[in-house]
Amino acid sequence: MYDRILLPTDGSEGVDRATEHAIDAAKRYGATLHVLFVVDEGVINAYPGDEYVHEFEGVERTLEEFGEEAVERIGSEAKDAGVDSVVTEVHHGEPDEAIIGYIDDEDIGLTVMGTKDRPGEYRRLLGSVTERVARRSSEPITIVKTTVEE
């Protein structure tokens, strides 16, 4: 049913349950599992002016390294679980835009995304990458919630 499954990750604990679901789906369908980390340009661009160039480069490098570690860890977990084909990628951009672009560019059939189920005003004020991707994607999205205590 699905040849290519995408698991976007931010490396957080909320993605653990989604990782299990994505690996299970990839095994069940014999699909290639794509694991994507997006270095959030909004975070990087929050550093103002030339005097912060050194810190900016450090933040960017740190986020890239964190992303590489996150996708490699999940890729290894998937291979250990019996997924034959795993692609790991680190991209730059606005996370929801980059994920939607990846879905379209790589002809992804199913995307599995984790989200933290937060109480109160937090969700209404900020929304989430998962919500924005789910609203805009023309392909199926499976959302796996993890409850976060505030």
* Token digits of residue 121: 């005003």
**In the structure, what pLDDT confidence band is assigned to residue 125 with cuts at 50, 70 and 90?**
very low
Number of domains forming the structure of the chain: 1
Supply 17's token pair: 């349950």
- Could you list the residue range(s) of the whole structural domain that residue 109 is in? 4-147
Summarised one tens digit per residue, pLDDT across range 6-35 is 999 998 876 889 999 999 999 999 999 999
Show the tokens assigned to 56.
């900016």
Angle between helices 95-105 and 129-136 (to 10 degrees): 40
Per-residue confidence (pLDDT) for residue 71, from 0 to 100 = 97
Of the candidates 118, 130, 123, the one whose C-alpha atom is nearest the C-alpha of residue 38 is 130
CATH number of 77's domain: 3.40.50.620
